[in-house]
Every structure is written in C-alpha cells, then in structure tokens.
Structure 1
C-alpha cells in the first residue's frame, strides 16, 4: 500500500494545494501538464502530513473538505476525484491552544485527532538519548564509509547532560558534526559543539521528572545519573573542584577520581 508524506510548513498555500490535491494543465502560470496530487497517489494507502499546525486557516478549510467528503478537486479541475486515504498528521505546536485562540480550526482538529499520540521532547525521555545517538552514529558511519566509528567513553555523559531543545534534529546535527570533526575511529566529546560539551545548568534539577534509562546494568544506570549530577555541579562552580567537592560532600581527590572514571575530567579545557 502506498505511503506518501509532505511537510506542510515547507511551502506556500498555493504550492501545498497543488502538491496535495494536484492541478490541471494551464491552471496557473507554469502548469504545463497535469499533476497528480499526493492524496490521489496515496489512494488506498496512507498520507503523512508533517507540521499540519503551520497551515493557514484558508488551507485548513480545503483540507477539511477533503477529509469530510473523501474527495479532492485538483486546481483548475471542474470535477472532484474520490480518494480513500488514511491520514496521519504531526505538529510541534500545541493545537489545543491554537484552537482556543482561533489559529487552528476546531472542526479540522477534531477530524484529525481521533487518535492522538503525544511524543515528549527528548529532554523528558533520557532513556532514548543514547540508543538514538548510537543509531545515528551507525547511520553516519555507513554513509561516510567509516564502519568502525564509535563513541569515546566521555560522550554518553555529555549527551545525557544536554537538554536538547532541538530534539532529534539537534541530536542528529550534533552527531554528524562530531563525526565530520573526528579523524580516527573514535568520536570524542570534544568534537561536539560547546553547547553540548559544556552543557546547560539545571539538568540535574529536572532529573527527577525525566525518564531514567531503563536498559543496562544497575551500575551503568547509576553511572549515568551520577555523571549528570557531577557535570551540572561542576558547571555551576565553573569547574572549581574544591567548591564542587564541598557541595557534594567529597574530598577533592575523590571528586577528581569520579570525574576521571565517568569521562568528565579535563572538560573545562576541552
């Protein structure tokens, strides 16, 4: 069965209408031949509309008609075409709020929200960060013909400590950047951008409300949590080991040993 997708935020209303619903030859300047829209191509299958929350109210009216009537009318056509399509939509916006403020049509919202899945931001599901990172590293390694690429031991703590405001896209960009800056077979933490390398204070405070890793041994999970707390504390004290050790109730030597074991030692100069 067909599966097609379109990013609704990537084009204007006119182009989006043409791309989804199709157009007839001569319907507008540059329409030199008939164009079959994605809804027709997906007939009997599924169409995925990404960033549907960024569509205009005018376009939402046209989309609502397609969903209600089960037919599309290509731009410039005199007759509609029946389609049988499963629609999956996604958005980064809060559509409940957009409906209340009148930016998104309420009738369209209830039409597409019969089954809703909320995917939390990456910062709220820490358990997913490392598996996704390893998958992206493997993909980058395959694309670049460097199958032996792997993360250095200091990378996991850095990835877990970052809040990832850009979610998966940011994580992907960071990993591809780190791979491009790595010469050997090991990708180290110093290959990541300063925002990931030095982190953002406050991560440990949000740790309790985030999902902790649900895979790995008990020691591996405890190490991940300990690394986040140590790193956040060091950031607040500008990597002053004496002050950080006092706050954590450790000796300076004990703190240095923990930092070294978790791959955090020396990052202040990275």
Structure 2
C-alpha cells in the first residue's frame, strides 16, 4: 500500500469521482463510492484514513452523511467538497460532523493534494502521537484485494448486458455493432443526441475490450478553451502558461494502455483539431512547454451530437481528422426512437433513485407509464432520470408513482384530472391527451403513433374516432 494511506471519495457523479481519483491516485490509494451505502460498506472494512465527500448528493447532504459516519467510524479524517464557500448548511454542521476541512469548487489539484496530505498526517497523529503505528493502517494485501475487487466490479458495472433495452428494438442492433468494436483496436465515433447515453456505450466498449483492465479517462472537449484543453489532454510543464505552477500529466498519458473518451469532439476549434490529428497519426503527445514528445498507446473513442460530415463540408471540421475518428462509426438512437425500452429503463432508474434517496417506491401507476412512453424526451435518458427523481421527491409514500406527480411539461399534474371527475372520465381524459400528443409529435402518422403507444393501427384508429381526434392523419409506415 502507498504509505500515504487510503482515501475514500464519496460522490454520486461518476465524472466527478473519476476526476478526484485521477488527481489523488498519483500519491494515495483511492477507493470510490457513489452513495452512502457503498461508502459504509467500505468503511466497515477498516481501510480508510481520509473521507472526501461531495456536499450535494441526492437524498442526503455530505454533512449529514459525515455526521452519521462520525458516530460509527470516528477515526477517519472527514473532509467536504462544496460549490459554495460560505454555504450555511456546511458551516452549521462542521462541528457536529467533525469535519476537518471543506474545499470549495472549482478545486485546484495541487491544493487538493496538500489538503489530503495534511488530513493523512492528522490521522497518523490521532492514532499514535509519535507516528503511524503498525495497526494504524490496513495491510497492503487487504487493500490490494479490495482495489482489485473494485476494478472487477467496475468492469461488471459497465458490461453490455447492463445497458437496458428490448432485444428486438433499435438499441439491440446498436449494441451488436458495439460488441464487434470491442474485438478490434480501432477508433470509434459514437453519434447521437445529448443525453442518449454515449458515454455509457463508450465505457461498455472499453471494459469489454482487451484494454478493459487499464485506464478509461473522459474529457468533454466542448467545456474548455483550446489552451486548457491542450493542457488537460497532453499535459504541461511548469511555467508553460499562467497558472501552470508545476508539471502536469495529461489524460492521454494517464490513459496509456487504455482508452480515452473525447466527448463533444465536434465542438473543438480547427486549431486544436490539427494537434489532435497529430496525436492520432504519430501516437505521441508533446506536453505544453516540453521539448520532447512522448509515445502513448491509447484507444480513442469519441462522441458528438453534431453531423460531422456536414461540419466537414462547411469547413468547420477537418476532413482528415474526421476519417481518423470515424474508423468504426456507431449511431445511438434517441429515447424517442425506442419507446419500448422506456418501461425497463424507468424501472432501472427508479431503483437507482430509491437507493440514493433511501426510499422504497416500487413502481409507476399505469397512467404514469403511459405518459412516460408518449413523451418525446428531448433530453433523453438524462431528462427521464430527472423526472423520476422529481416524482420520488414529490411523493409522500411508497405507493406507485401517480401521474399528478409528473412535471407540467409532461401533460399531467393536478389540472389534468379534476378531483370531482369520475375515475373513468379521468382515465379517458388522460388517454385522449396521450394519443393527441403522440399524433402531434409524429405529424399524424398513425402507424408510428400506434407503434409508440403499443397499439394496433386498428385499435388506435378506433380511439381516434372515439375521442374525435381526426385531423390530417396518414397511415404511412
């Protein structure tokens, strides 16, 4: 085990966990948990010296979690990360939770490492004033076993079989194509709408490939200006630019032997595209300010919600880079294109929300599920997750989630069915609204609307007649 000790990161956001782990793992053994239950299981093994917890988590704040931890596991040094430097809920709970320090976002890597170093020193002093005693840290073998188990668990977490879908639906063909991509060490370009799950598919490709035991790192190329993006991906030498206080390893070097996922690659500038092209051609990177290049062996999986071929024709994206990235193209269908998957996806997300919120909501009311299936979901799975979180938060018990818990944009809510109406009238009113919306969104195409709603064309036509919804309809498949 690294003599600096084991650090536990508790954060519900995957990218945030990976970012913290990436910085800290150069000096510390790092364990990660996405929720309180996972964190408590790790703490029960007596492996942790420092807990680094995000403040904003669903169901429970970081301060509340650390307050509970203090009662059962008082030894680990507790730290909080927050986006608000003077957040009242943090300040009020610092003493009660025994929080050693809180770090504000955006955090600086060197500052973060210094804070954790100090926390490890404090842990040692608490265990034995003269230094770290023989029993003050977990054994090397025990921690290595736990770390290996976590790596295996991560691989299982992102297996293709974990991606919820109906085998005969459009997602089945996409996953079959993606499985083929795991066999060959070539660049993959995933296209599809924002929120459709491109990163999840990229992880499945990586962990299903021969590189699955190595690093998988992620960067959103549209979130940073060129200079910072270049530093983040290729690294930099101390003094290369204002704010470069020390040498920094880039993500390509950290991913050596593994894979890098370049999200929103279509947002990069032509100037940066030249530098990225060189990396793909030469298989080497040159950190900012460095005199020499370094060889790297990295598989590139990229993603975009843009039509890159149109971008190439418009002169906004380099043709040669496009062909480098597009060696194995995969298109990910949107949620609106796979309505039959929605019940299973919603049930899976509900289970996640239950764990995060410490609730036990079992299911959705049939009327609610009908509305979920009929919605167009412009925000895709991300929007569906948010909707389910809201519904669970709004519910007062663990009964099936009723349609009035949906947000107004879903076409339900208290005004959708008045309390005085008979149940039959409420159900018919809801059904009419669902069918009308489906027809409107599909430009009156009865065949497609029937498919989305799980009805036969004959059955849907009968309901259209019944609810007097006939407009400019067609029956084109």
Report if TM-score (shorter chain) is over 0.5: yes
Residues 149 and 11 of structure 1: CA distance in aligned 2, closer, same or farther (over 3 Å): farther
Q: Is the 8 A contact 1:124 1:211 kept in 2?
A: no
Residues 10 and 149 of structure 1: CA distance in aligned 2, closer, same or farther (over 3 Å): farther
Structure 2: how far apart are the matches of 1:221 and 1:74? Answer: 55
Q: Quote the offset at 1:209 in angstroms.
A: 4.4
What does residue 138 of structure 1 align with? 351
Structure 2: how far apart are the matches of 1:127 and 1:162? Answer: 12
Instruction: Please give the per-residue CA displacement for 1:45-70, whole angstroms capped at 9, x wherever unaligned.
Output: 11111111111111111111100110
What does residue 95 of structure 1 align with? 308
Q: Is the 8 A contact 1:123 1:210 kept in 2?
A: no
Q: Is the 8 A contact 2:361 2:401 kept in 1?
A: no
What does residue 58 of structure 2 align with? none
Structure 1: how far apart are the matches of 2:346 and 2:242? Answer: 46
**Where does 1:45-194 land on structure 2 (aligned, <5 Å)?**
45-185=258-398, 186-194=400-408
What does residue 255 of structure 1 align with? none
Q: Quote the offset at 1:141 in angstroms.
A: 0.9
- Structure 2, unmatched stretches of 5+, are 1-213, 413-433, 471-477
Residues 56 and 20 of structure 1: CA distance in aligned 2, closer, same or farther (over 3 Å): same
How many correspondences in the alignment? 230
Q: Is the 8 A contact 1:189 1:197 kept in 2?
A: no
| 2:467 aligned residue (214, 234, 245) | 245
Specify the SS of the correspondent of 2:291: coil
Q: Quote the offset at 1:131 in angstroms.
A: 1.6
What does residue 132 of structure 2 align with? none
Residues 60 and 247 of structure 1: CA distance in aligned 2, closer, same or farther (over 3 Å): closer
Instruction: State the structure with bigger RCO (CA 8 A, min sep 6), 1 or 2.
Output: 1
What does residue 258 of structure 1 align with? none
Q: Is the 8 A contact 1:124 1:210 kept in 2?
A: no
Structure 2: how far apart are the matches of 1:100 and 1:109? Answer: 11
Residues 154 and 22 of structure 1: CA distance in aligned 2, closer, same or farther (over 3 Å): same
Q: Quote the offset at 1:197 in angstroms.
A: 2.8
Q: How big is the alpha-carbon RMSD for the aligned residues of Structure 1 and Structure 2? A: 2.7
Residues 208 and 179 of structure 1: CA distance in aligned 2, closer, same or farther (over 3 Å): same
Residues 180 and 94 of structure 1: CA distance in aligned 2, closer, same or farther (over 3 Å): same
| 1:208 aligned residue (427, 438, 447) | 447
Instruction: Please give the per-residue CA displacement for 1:45-101, whole angstroms capped at 9, x wherever unaligned.
Output: 111111111111111111111001100111111111100000000111111111111
Instruction: Please give the per-residue CA displacement for 1:26-60, whole angstroms capped at 9, x wherever unaligned.
Output: 11111111111110000001111111111111111
Q: Is the 8 A contact 2:395 2:401 kept in 1?
A: yes
Specify the SS of the correspondent of 1:156: helix
- Larger mean Cα displacement after TM superposition, 35-44 or 198-207: 198-207
- Structure 1, unmatched stretches of 5+, are 214-219, 234-242, 249-270
Structure 1: how far apart are the matches of 2:382 and 2:265? Answer: 18
Q: Is the 8 A contact 1:73 1:79 kept in 2?
A: yes
Residues 111 and 206 of structure 1: CA distance in aligned 2, closer, same or farther (over 3 Å): farther
Q: Is the 8 A contact 1:18 1:37 kept in 2?
A: yes
Q: Quote the offset at 1:245 in angstroms.
A: 3.2
Residues 30 and 246 of structure 1: CA distance in aligned 2, closer, same or farther (over 3 Å): closer
